[in-house]
A and B are shown apart, each in its own frame.
Chain A
Amino acid sequence: MTSLFKPRAAPTRVLPGFGLTLGFTIFYLALIVLIPLSAVFLKTFTMTWEAFWSAVTSARVMASYRLTFGASLIGALLNVVFGGIVAWVLVRYKFPGKRFIDALVDLPFALPTAVAGITLTALYSSNGWIGQYLEKAGIKVAFTPLGVVVALTFIGLPFVVRTVQPVLEDAERELEEAAASLGATPWQTFWRVILPNLVPALLTGFALAFARATGEYGSVIFIAGNMPMVSEITPLFIITKLEQYDYAGATAIAVVMLVVSFLLLLTINLLQAWTRKRAGKG
Chain B
Amino acid sequence: MSAVIDIPVQPVARRAAPTNTLEPAWIKYVLVTVALLFLTLFLFVPLVAVFAEALKKGWDVYVESILDPDAISAIKLTLIAAVISVPLNLVFGVCAAWAIAKFEFRGKSILLTLIDLPFSVSPVISGLIYVLMFGTQGWIGPWLQEHDIKILFAVPGIVLATVFITFPFVARELIPLMQAQGSEEEEAGLVLGASGWQIFFRVTLPNIKWGLLYGVILCNARAMGEFGAVSVVSGHIRGETNTMPLQVEILYNEYNFTAAFAIASLLALLALVTLAIKSFIEWRLHQSGETAADEAALMPLPHAVVQPVRSTV
Mask of B219-249 contacts with A, CB within 8 angstroms, 1/0: 0010011111001100000000000111011
Query: Residue A136 at the B interface, CB < 8 A?
Result: no
Q: Which of B65-73, B142-150, B183-191 lies at the interface with chain A?
A: B183-191
Question: How many angstroms between the C-alpha atoms of A115 and B190 in the bound complex?
Answer: 49
Provide the residues of chain B in CB contact with A215, threshold 8 Å.
120-125
Q: Is the CB of B129 within 8 A of A40?
A: yes
Q: Which residue of B lies closest to A187 (CB)?
A: B23
Question: How many angstroms between the C-alpha atoms of A110 and B104 in the bound complex?
Answer: 34
Shortest CB-to-CB span from B298 to chain A, Å, is: 11
Provide the residues of chain A in CB contact with B115, threshold 8 Å.
29
Q: Which of A138-159 contact B (CB under 8 A)?
A: 153-154, 157-159
Question: How many angstroms between the C-alpha atoms of A94 and B261 in the bound complex?
Answer: 35
Q: Which residue of A lies closest to B14 (CB)?
A: A173
Question: How many angstroms between the C-alpha atoms of A262 and B24 in the bound complex?
Answer: 44
Q: Which residue of A lies closest to B18 (CB)?
A: A177
Q: Is the CB of B123 within 8 A of A3?
A: no
Q: Is the CB of B310 within 8 A of A36?
A: no
Question: How many angstroms between the C-alpha atoms of A14 and B232 in the bound complex?
Answer: 46
Provide the residues of chain B in CB contact with A231, threshold 8 Å.
none
Q: Which residue of A lies closest to B47 (CB)?
A: A107
Option from B49, B111, B218, B306 in Cβ contact (under 8 Å) with A25 = B111
Q: Is the CB of A28 within 8 A of B228?
A: no
Task: Kindly state the interface size class of chain B when it binds its partner.
Answer: 35 or more
Option from A18, A37, A186, A261 in Cβ contact (under 8 Å) with B24 = A186
Query: Residue B274 at the A interface, CB < 8 A?
Result: yes
Q: Which of B235-271 contact A (CB under 8 A)?
A: 244-246, 248-249, 252, 257, 260-261, 264, 267-268, 270-271
Which residue, B17, B100, B125, B164, has most C-beta atoms of chain A within 10 A? B125
Query: Residue B87 at the A interface, CB < 8 A?
Result: no
Q: Is the CB of B7 within 8 A of A94?
A: yes
Also in contact, A94 and B278, with CB within 8 A (given A33-B167, A163-B303, A242-B131):
no
Q: Is the CB of A166 within 8 A of B133?
A: no
Give chain B's interface secondary structure class: helix
Provide the residues of chain B in CB contact with A239, threshold 8 Å.
124, 231-232
Option from B43, B131, B271 in Cβ contact (under 8 Å) with A112 = B271
Also in contact, A36 and B129, with CB within 8 A (given A261-B120, A275-B309):
yes
Q: Is the CB of A269 within 8 A of B102?
A: no
Also in contact, A95 and B7, with CB within 8 A (given A17-B196, A215-B124, A217-B228):
yes
Query: Residue A48 at the B interface, CB < 8 A?
Result: no
Query: Residue B299 at the A interface, CB < 8 A?
Result: yes
Provide the residues of chain A in CB contact with B117, threshold 8 Å.
33, 37, 265
Q: Is the CB of B50 within 8 A of A119?
A: yes
Query: Residue A247 at the B interface, CB < 8 A?
Result: yes
Question: How many angstroms between the C-alpha atoms of A21 and B204 in the bound complex?
Answer: 15
Also in contact, A276 and B300, with CB within 8 A (given A112-B226, A114-B264, A115-B50):
no
Shortest CB-to-CB span from B74 to chain A, Å, is: 12
Q: Is the CB of B42 within 8 A of A153?
A: yes
Query: Residue A229 at the B interface, CB < 8 A?
Result: no
Q: Is the CB of B120 within 8 A of A211?
A: yes
Q: Which residue of B lies closest to A218 (CB)?
A: B227
Q: Is the CB of A265 within 8 A of B267?
A: no
Provide the residues of chain A in CB contact with B50, threshold 8 Å.
115, 119
Q: Is the CB of A115 within 8 A of B268?
A: yes
Question: How many angstroms between the C-alpha atoms of A176 and B68 in the bound complex?
Answer: 60
Query: Residue A137 at the B interface, CB < 8 A?
Result: no
Question: How many angstroms between the C-alpha atoms of A71 and B191 in the bound complex?
Answer: 58
Also in contact, A173 and B17, with CB within 8 A (given A92-B9, A208-B302, A276-B312):
yes
Q: Is the CB of B125 within 8 A of A130?
A: no
Also in contact, A180 and B20, with CB within 8 A (given A265-B116, A269-B113):
yes
Question: How many angstroms between the C-alpha atoms of A33 and B96 in the bound complex?
Answer: 14
Question: How many angstroms between the C-alpha atoms of A141 and B308 in the bound complex?
Answer: 41
Query: Residue B105 at the A interface, CB < 8 A?
Result: yes
Question: How many angstroms between the C-alpha atoms of A279 and B199 in the bound complex?
Answer: 35
Query: Residue A251 at the B interface, CB < 8 A?
Result: yes
Q: Is the CB of A32 within 8 A of B163?
A: yes
A12-B104, A208-B302, A211-B120 known; 15 other A-B pairs, CB under 8 Å?
Answer: A4-B187, A15-B196, A17-B102, A32-B160, A37-B117, A90-B35, A93-B31, A112-B225, A113-B123, A159-B303, A176-B17, A235-B124, A239-B231, A258-B125, A269-B113
Listed by A's residue number, 27 A-B pairs whose Cβ atoms lie within 8 Å are: A4-B191, A21-B98, A35-B133, A37-B129, A82-B34, A85-B34, A94-B10, A95-B32, A112-B244, A113-B225, A115-B248, A115-B268, A123-B49, A153-B42, A167-B309, A170-B310, A177-B21, A186-B21, A204-B306, A215-B120, A215-B121, A217-B123, A254-B122, A257-B122, A258-B121, A279-B309, A280-B312
